[in-house]
């Protein structure tokens, strides 16, 4: 226990030192730790999911790009695919500051999940924006995949066509899906870093 | 096409039903005049009140976002989307792409966007068919699909229509849109075709271009037109120095692959200057000088400049003495066929330039862009030339007599009286001309270096012809020939007087040599020159008996040997030339590098540079030689090794190749724990270097 504490303390100090050079998380490196409360009041940390794939989805229900993927059912499909086919944990993260667009109460968040027939493992309310900043999450939607060893394997956009029209989804490459397939096949993720497109996160 | 669009519109409409009620109200057919959407007013407008068949008309999308809202440029920046435009015009009309007015930098939270606040215009040019009938109406439709943002973003779209009467006479401008088009014109970047390159090495976008006109030094803003390349919120570092513009900006976290070309805009808001350029992917140039050439220079003008430059070369201190020798021989041989001598001389000059050009072009093909004065990089060459000039001077001064003295082979050949002599005088003129061309001929040579090889060869040949021209004119112009003074005692005086330019040229070469080596090298070569003078003087003495003659020959040989040894020793001092004033660094060598890599107490910074590499010098001045970097080097115990590739050290060439490079600059840092070396960007900033040093 003590050594674990020392380890993380050293890690924090080290991170503090190198942070000017590595503001964003790096593919192939351990993903940033977080500790954020969900809509049911339960605290989730990355360490809780050791041994499982973790998908992070930053969202803002009023953002047209989020709407694009929820109205077409694309995001919900990917949530089911990840959880059912890949035994992944899907965490939807809301980093909007109180009073800003996209900020919701726990009840509103649960209501959105129910109404949109979404299927995340949990919805995290990152009001402080600490988790969002640790991951350098910029836009909604912004996607990350962390492997069972806690290593970051994918970061970037939901798909390859930065448009706001649902009609463009079928033609686009769904990066999270292809990355999950690569990981399931034991391959390196072919496109591990892509351009995230969407609405700026309102920290 | 039209049907597809309708289907897409219907789909959008269905989405709108669910989410965005205001769109429904506006979904019926193209609308004329200003159209209101969420947080923005849009309208299709024209510069003139009517169109004339067979002419062009400028139209544009006028956008007026609400206070605090904005729309996006072709590259929206860290978030956002560029607008999509879909035109429908009468048959045979053509519509240009948008002449994007340069945008504003809009910081939004921790991101930066490129876009427009307030009323703005996205103009295009429409070519109107000539078979239109005056009296009818010209109808233009535009479907526009945009994102308008404050912090939050609202998508919007509109089907817009513009109807203009077709008239026979030139139409009058529309006073209502005059200011808008003037705004767009003021923001329209001037397209310049300056050579530009970019690299994405070391986590930074580095861009370099050579301006062909003076630019303000400070206050530039950089707008890359490629999305997802740089971190738009990152600091742009721009230096403008002697026409060389260099800039760097951190790459985007989500950068994956560099494009082949990077279009970008540089804006100097204070003077209202905006320039549109296109950079090619590749290493930044390490050419001898900023090449002030456009991509397609007027070739005739270039040739004319080369000719003028060649003629001017006759006045250069290292050419004129040789010409004086030839002028002497021309004057001496007043009865000979001087035209043929003039032609032989011209052939010698032009052929030499052709050979030099061939060598240069072969070297260039080998991937090296060389400065013209490259022979001067060798102290051997400089020292030997100083000896030659000094010896020639002594000959002219009468220390020994021509013909019997042992002179340089070229000089001997040049002194030959026949056509061969004239030919080799031409050759000699070229060899000695090369040191002088660097400062004076930079422009024409710079052009030659970037031209395709036949044109480059043409420039060199014309340059050579220019050099030979005065002598050729002298040989062809009987009037001038008649004016040449008759041979006589004056020639002796003239010859002796001609020695002094040679001595001056020798002094200049010694100065170059002193800069290449040091005071010791200079002293060695000066001693060698005394030995040379002694040898020449001794060789010119008349013989008095066999024993004395033998002693004399031995004396001459030993003195010459000493002169040669002195030159060799001086040349070896070359690498030891150091600038002790800025002794934050020590000279690079493979052994020293390995030694400090193996030492866990020190990290290493390697700088591979060359005197003719402008990028290197700019980086050293603005970044490496600053107090911040010096302090960081000392504080973090980093050893700074500098390799000088000015003289093509093969060891450095090998080191560069290890990093898959064939040119300088190259900056590499080695962490003190023996980890992997890291290559720094080609355009350095003090902050970037300090940060890299801190991370070691």
Using CA atoms, how far apart are residues B265 and B247, in angstroms rounded to an integer?
12
* Residue whose tokens read 């429409």: B126
Indicate yes or no: CB of B79 within 8 angstroms of CB of A138. Answer: yes
Using CA atoms, how far apart are residues B104 and B73, in angstroms rounded to an integer?
9
Residues of A with CB under 8 A from a CB of B: 18, 20-21, 23-24, 62-64, 67, 71, 100-102, 136, 138-139, 155-156, 162-167, 191, 193-203
* Continuous segment of H or E residues that includes residue B41: strand B40-46
The answer to whether residue A185 is domain-embedded is yes
Report helix, strand and coil shares of chain B as percent, to nearest 5. Answer: 45, 25, 30
Assess whether the previous peptide bond of B111 is cis (omega < 30° from 0): no
Indicate yes or no: CB of B152 within 8 angstroms of CB of A202. Answer: yes
Q: What is the pLDDT of residue A150?
A: 94
Mean pLDDT of A122-144: 94
Q: Is the pLDDT of residue B580 over 70?
A: no
Instruction: Please write the tens of the pLDDT for every residue from A149-198.
Output: 999 999 999 999 988 889 999 999 999 999 999 999 999 999 999 999 98
The answer to whether residue A5 is domain-embedded is no
The answer to whether residue A70 is domain-embedded is yes
Indicate yes or no: CB of B11 within 8 angstroms of CB of A167. Answer: yes
3-state SS of A83-137? Answer: HHHCCCEEEEEECCCCCCCCCCCHHHHHHHHHHCCCCCCEEEECCCCHHHHHCCC
Instruction: Please write the tens of the pLDDT for every residue from B344-403.
Output: 888 888 888 888 778 767 766 654 444 333 444 567 777 877 887 788 778 778 787 643
* Residue whose tokens read 């924006």: A129
Indicate yes or no: CB of B15 within 8 angstroms of CB of A71. Answer: yes
Give the three-class secondary structure for B442.
Answer: helix
Using CA atoms, how far apart are residues B257 and B450, in angstroms rounded to an integer?
28
The answer to whether residue A75 is domain-embedded is yes
Contact call for residues A87 and A52 (beta carbons, < 8 A): yes
Handedness of CA B236, B240, B245, B246 (dihedral sign): negative
Instruction: Please write the tens of the pLDDT for every residue from B409-465.
Output: 444 555 555 666 677 777 776 666 554 444 344 445 555 555 667 777 888 888 888
Could you tell me the fold of the domain covering B2-188?
A: Immunoglobulin-like (2.60.40)
Q: What are φ and ψ of residue B623, in 5° steps? A: -125, -60
Instruction: Please write the tens of the pLDDT for every residue from B123-162.
Output: 999 999 999 999 999 999 999 999 998 878 888 999 999 9
Counted domains in chain A: 1
Residues from chain A that touch B18, judged by Cβ atoms under 8 A, are 71
Shortest CA distance from A202: residue in chain B: B151
Q: Which of B11, B15, B151 sits opposite A200 (nearest CB)?
A: B151
- Write down the number of H helices and E strands in chain B: 19, 25
The answer to whether residue A15 is domain-embedded is no
CA distances in angstroms from B39 to B65, B147, B156, listed in the order given: 6, 10, 9
B143, B151, B200, B688: which to substitute to probe chain A, counting the most A Cβ within 10 Å?
B151
Strand order in the sheet with B56-65: B35-37, B40-46, B56-65, B120-127, B94-95
The answer to whether residue A124 is domain-embedded is yes
Indicate yes or no: CB of B256 within 8 angstroms of CB of A193. Answer: yes
Strand locations in B282-357, DSSP E? Answer: none
In this structure, what DSSP letter does residue B631 have? H
Using CA atoms, how far apart are residues B186 and B120, in angstroms rounded to an integer?
12
Q: Apex CA B554: angle with CA B550 and CA B555, to 5°?
A: 115
Residues from chain B that touch A102, judged by Cβ atoms under 8 A, are 152
Same CATH topology for B191-281 and B580-694: the answer is no
Token reading at B650: 């093969």
Q: What is the pLDDT of residue B117?
A: 94
Q: Which residues sit opposite B122 in a β-bridge?
A: B61
Between B569 and B99, the more confident residue is B99
Using CA atoms, how far apart are residues B519 and B13, in angstroms rounded to an integer?
84
Residue B103's pLDDT band, with cuts at 50, 70 and 90, is: very high
How would you classify the pairing of strands A122-125 and A89-94? parallel
Residue B168 CA neighbour count, 13 Å, CB half: 2
Mean pLDDT of B81-88: 92
Residues from chain A that touch B253, judged by Cβ atoms under 8 A, are 23-24, 136, 155, 193
Q: Is the pLDDT of residue B295 over 50?
A: no
Using CA atoms, how far apart are residues B400 and B414, in angstroms rounded to an integer?
17
CATH code: domain of residue A30? 3.40.30.10
Report helix, strand and coil shares of chain A as percent, to nearest 5. Answer: 35, 20, 45
Q: What is the pLDDT of residue B24?
A: 41
CATH node for B580-694: 3.40.30.10
Shortest CA distance from B83: residue in chain A: A163
* Residue whose tokens read 């400070």: B218
Report chain A's terminal Cα–Cα distance, integer Å.
34
The answer to whether residue A6 is domain-embedded is no
Indicate yes or no: CB of A199 within 8 angstroms of CB of B153. Answer: yes
Instruction: Please write the tens of the pLDDT for every residue from B486-496.
Output: 555 666 676 67
The answer to whether residue A67 is domain-embedded is yes
Indicate yes or no: CB of A164 within 8 angstroms of CB of B81. Answer: yes
Close Cβ partners of B67 (under 8 Å, ≥ 6 residues apart): none
How would you classify the pairing of strands B31-32 and B153-165? parallel
Using CA atoms, how far apart are residues B469 and B309, in angstroms rounded to an integer?
11
Instruction: Please write the tens of the pLDDT for every residue from B304-342.
Output: 877 877 776 665 545 555 666 666 566 555 555 677 777
Q: Where are the domains of chain B?
A: 2-188, 191-281, 299-389+398-492, 580-694
Using CA atoms, how far apart are residues B15 and B23, in angstroms rounded to an integer?
10
* Continuous segment of H or E residues that includes residue B380: helix B379-397
Residues from chain A that touch B149, judged by Cβ atoms under 8 A, are 199-200
Token reading at B222: 């950089």
Closest-CA residue to B51 (of B176, B167, B178): B167
CATH node for B191-281: 2.60.40
pTM confidence score: 0.57
Burial label for B537, CB within 10 Å (0-12, 13-18, 19+), is middle
Using CA atoms, how far apart are residues B448 and B354, in angstroms rounded to an integer?
13
Q: Apex CA B543: angle with CA B541 and CA B545, to 5°?
A: 150
Contact call for residues B81 and B33 (beta carbons, < 8 A): no
Indicate yes or no: CB of A199 within 8 angstroms of CB of B111. Answer: no
Q: What is the pLDDT of residue B519?
A: 83
Residues of chain B above pLDDT 70, percent: 76
Closest-CA residue to B99 (of B259, B274, B270): B274
In this structure, what DSSP letter does residue B601 have? T
Q: Which residues sit opposite A55 in a β-bridge?
A: A90, A145
Q: Which structural domain range is residue A191 located in?
A: 26-200
* Continuous segment of H or E residues that includes residue B181: helix B178-186
User: Exposure string (b/e) for B563-596, b if CB count within 10 Å is 16 or more?
Assistant: bbebbebbbebbeeeeeeeeeebeebeeeebeeb
Using CA atoms, how far apart are residues B79 and B76, in angstroms rounded to an integer?
6
């Amino acid at each position: 226990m003590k050594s674990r504490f020392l380890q993380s303390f050293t890690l924090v100090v080290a991170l503090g030192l190198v942070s000017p050079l590595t503001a964003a998380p790096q593919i192939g490196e351990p993903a940033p730790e977080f500790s954020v409360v969900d809509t049911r009041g339960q605290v989730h940390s990355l360490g809780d999911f050791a041994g499982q794939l973790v998908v992070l989805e930053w969202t803002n229900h009023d953002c047209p790009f989020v709407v694009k993927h929820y109205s077409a059912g694309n995001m919900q499909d990917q949530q089911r695919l990840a959880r059912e086919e890949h035994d992944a944990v899907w965490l939807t993260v809301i980093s909007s500051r109180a009073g800003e667009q996209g900020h919701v109460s726990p009840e509103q968040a649960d209501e959105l999940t129910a109404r949109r027939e979404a299927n995340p493992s949990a919805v995290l309310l990152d009001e402080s924006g600490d988790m969002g900043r640790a991951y350098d999450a910029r836009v909604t939607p912004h996607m990350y995949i962390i492997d069972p060893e806690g290593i970051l394997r994918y970061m970037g956009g939901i798909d390859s066509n930065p448009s706001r029209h649902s009609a463009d989804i079928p033609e686009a490459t769904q990066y999270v899906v292809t990355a999950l397939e690569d990981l399931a096949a034991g391959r390196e993720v072919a496109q591990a870093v892509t351009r995230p497109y969407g609405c700026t996160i309102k920290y | 096409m039209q049907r597809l669009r309708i289907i897409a519109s219907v789909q959008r409409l269905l989405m709108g039903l669910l989410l965005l009620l205001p769109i429904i109200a506006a979904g019926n057919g193209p609308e004329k005049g200003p159209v209101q959407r969420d947080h923005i007013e849009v309208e299709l407008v024209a510069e003139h009140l009517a169109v004339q068949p067979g002419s062009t008309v400028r139209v544009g999308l006028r956008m007026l976002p609400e206070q605090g809202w904005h729309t996006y440029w072709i590259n929206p920046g860290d978030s956002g989307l560029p607008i999509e435009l879909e035109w429908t015009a009468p048959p045979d009309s053509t519509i240009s792409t948008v002449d994007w007015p340069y945008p504003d930098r809009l910081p939004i939270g921790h991101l930066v966007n490129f876009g427009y606040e307030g009323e703005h215009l996205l103009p295009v040019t429409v070519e109107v068919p000539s078979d239109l009938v005056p009296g009818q109406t010209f109808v233009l439709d535009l479907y526009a699909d945009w994102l308008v943002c404050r912090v939050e973003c609202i998508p919007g779209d509109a089907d817009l229509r513009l109807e203009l009467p077709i008239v026979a006479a030139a139409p009058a401008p529309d006073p209502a849109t005059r200011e808008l088009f003037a705004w767009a014109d003021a923001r329209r970047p001037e397209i310049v075709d300056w050579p530009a390159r970019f690299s994405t090495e070391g986590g930074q976008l580095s861009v370099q271009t050579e301006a062909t006109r003076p630019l303000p030094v400070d206050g530039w803003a950089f707008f890359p037109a490629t999305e997802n390349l740089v971190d738009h919120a990152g600091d742009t570092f721009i230096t403008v120095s002697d026409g060389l513009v260099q800039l760097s900006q951190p790459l985007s976290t989500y950068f994956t692959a560099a494009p082949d070309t990077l279009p970008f805009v540089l804006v100097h808001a204070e003077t209202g200057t905006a320039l549109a350029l296109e950079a090619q992917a590749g290493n930044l140039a390490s050419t001898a000088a900023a090449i002030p050439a456009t991509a397609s220079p007027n070739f005739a003008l270039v040739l004319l400049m080369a000719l003028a430059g060649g003629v001017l070369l006759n006045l250069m201190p290292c050419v004129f003495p040789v010409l004086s020798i030839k002028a002497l021989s021309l004057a001496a041989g007043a009865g000979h066929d001087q035209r043929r001598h003039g032609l032989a001389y011209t052939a010698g000059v032009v052929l030499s330039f052709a050979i030099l050009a061939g060598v240069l072009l072969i070297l260039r093909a080998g991937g090296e862009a060389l400065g013209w004065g490259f022979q001067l990089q060798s102290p051997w060459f400089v020292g030997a030339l100083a000896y030659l000039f000094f010896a020639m001077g002594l000959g002219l001064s009468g220390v020994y007599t021509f013909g019997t003295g042992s002179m340089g082979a070229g000089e001997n050949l040049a002194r030959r009286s026949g056509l061969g002599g004239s030919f080799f005088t031409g050759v000699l003129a070229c060899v000695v001309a090369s040191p002088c061309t660097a400062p004076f001929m930079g422009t024409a040579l710079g052009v030659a270096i970037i031209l395709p090889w036949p044109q480059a060869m043409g420039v060199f040949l014309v340059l050579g012809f220019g050099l030979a021209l005065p002598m050729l004119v002298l040989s062809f112009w009987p009037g001038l020939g008649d004016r040449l003074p008759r041979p006589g005692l004056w020639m002796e005086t003239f010859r002796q007087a001609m020695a002094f330019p040679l001595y001056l040229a020798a002094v200049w070469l010694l100065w170059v040599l002193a800069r290449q080596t040091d005071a010791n090298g200079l002293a060695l070569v000066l001693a060698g020159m005394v030995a040379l003078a002694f040898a020449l003087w001794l060789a010119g003495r008349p013989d008095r008996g066999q024993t004395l003659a033998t002693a004399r020959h031995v004396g001459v040989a030993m003195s010459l040997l000493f002169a040669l040894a002195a030159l060799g020793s001086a040349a070896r001092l070359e690498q030891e030339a150091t600038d002790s004033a800025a002794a934050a660094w020590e000279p690079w060598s493979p052994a020293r590098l390995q030694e400090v890599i193996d030492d866990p107490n020190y990290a290493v910074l390697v700088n591979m540079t060359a005197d003719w590499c402008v990028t290197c010098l700019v980086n050293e001045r603005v970044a490496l030689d600053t107090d911040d970097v010096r302090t960081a080097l000392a504080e973090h115990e980093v050893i700074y090794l500098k390799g000088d590739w000015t003289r093509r050290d093969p060891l450095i060439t090998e080191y560069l190749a290890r990093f898959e490079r064939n040119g300088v600059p190259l900056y590499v840092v080695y962490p003190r724990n023996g980890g992997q070396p890291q290559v720094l960007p080609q355009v350095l900033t003090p902050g970037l270097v300090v940060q890299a040093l801190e991370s070691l």
